[in-house]
Amino acid sequence: MTQPSNGRVALVTGASRGIGRAIALGLARDGFDVVVNDIERQREELKAVATEIGTFGRRGLPLFADVSDRGSVHVMVDAALAQADHIDVVVNNAGILIANTVENLQEAQWDAVMDINAKGTFLVVQALLPHMRRRGYGRIVNIASIGGKHGAPEQAHYSASKAAIMGFTRVLAQEVGQFGITANCVCPGIIVTDMGRTNLSDQSNVDKWVAVTALRRLGQPEDVVGPACFLASDASAFVTGQSLNVCGGIVLS
C-alpha cells in the first residue's frame, strides 16, 4: 500500500492465519484495502496474506505489532494512517487460548490471555477512536467467542477474556454511536483452526462438539467471514452493541 487509499480501508489484527486471515481476504473480496496485523514471528505468513489480498485487486499492507503492547499498537495505527490515509473498519481478531484448569492456572497464563484478548482489543480501539470520531464514521468488529457466554472446562480465563470483550463492546457502542461509529462482537463456535484444534484434541472431542451443534458440523474460518463482513458494512448501519453467535447452533441465545 504505497499510495493513500481513496476507497474503504479495514484493519484486521491476528490476520496471518485462521479466522483473521479469512476475514481479511473476505473484506478484500468486498472491496476493502486491508491493513493486516500480526506479531513479528508471523512475518512470512502475514506478508503472504498481504500478497493474496492483491489477487482481489485490493491493496494489502502488513504491519507487525503486539496488540497487548500500547506503544506497539500506536506505532501500528500511526503507520496505517500514514500509508492508507484512513481506516473505516477494525476487526479485533488477535487472540490466544491456553488450556488449563482453574486449580492449575498460573498467574502468567491468566495475564497473557487477558492481555492479548481483552486489553489488546481495548488498546487498538482506543488508538483508533480519535481518527474515527474525526471522520464521523467507523465499524468496530470484535471477535469474542461463545466461550464468553457458555465456556468449557480448562478455559475459565479465556471465557473471562471473551466476556470482557462483550461487556466492553456494549458500553463502547453506547459511547461512540453519536459519532457514527458502531461496535459489535462476533462469537464463533468451534472453528477448525490451529487454535480450534485445542478443543478437538481427539476424535471423541470432535464427536462431542458435532453432536451439540444444530448443524452437525464443525465451523471453518470461512463460516465467520459473512457475519464479520456484514458487521463491517453499511448493511449493518443500525446494528450496534450486539454479540452475534456464529456457531452452527451450539449456543441459541
159 binds ligand NAP (CB under 6 A): no
Question: Considering beta carbons, is residue 69 or 85 the nearer one to ligand NAP?
Answer: 69
Minimum distance of ligand NAP from residue 248's CB (angstroms): 11
23 binds ligand NAP (CB under 6 A): no
Count of residues that bind ligand NAP according to CB under 6 A: 31
Q: Which long-range contacts (CB under 8 A, 24 or more apart) does 45-54 make?
A: 45/16, 45/17, 46/15, 46/16, 48/16, 49/15, 49/16, 49/21, 49/24, 49/25, 52/25, 52/28, 53/24, 53/25, 53/28
Quick note: the x/- pattern for ligand NAP over 131-150, rule CB under 6 A, is: ------------x-x-----
Which of 9, 10, 14, 49 binds ligand NAP (CB under 6 A)? It is 14
155 binds ligand NAP (CB under 6 A): no
For 3, other C-beta atoms within 10 Å of its C-beta total 10
Residues 57-76 that bind ligand NAP (CB under 6 A): 66-68
Per the annotation, the verdict on 137 as an active-site residue is no
Q: How far apart are CA 126 and CA 122, in angstroms?
A: 6
DSSP labels, 132-149 = HHHHT-EEEEEE--GGGT
Minimum distance of ligand NAP from residue 171's CB (angstroms): 20
Residues 201-240 that bind ligand NAP (CB under 6 A): none
246 binds ligand NAP (CB under 6 A): no
- Identified catalytic residue from 110, 158, 168, 209: 158
β-partners of residue 61 are: 35
Smallest Cα–Cα separation from 5: which of 28, 33, 29, 25? Answer: 33
Q: How far apart are CA 36 and CA 46, in angstroms?
A: 7
- Which residues have a catalytic role annotated? 158
Binding site for ligand NAP (CB under 6 A): 13-14, 16-20, 37-39, 41-42, 66-68, 93-97, 116, 120, 143, 145, 188, 190-191, 193-196
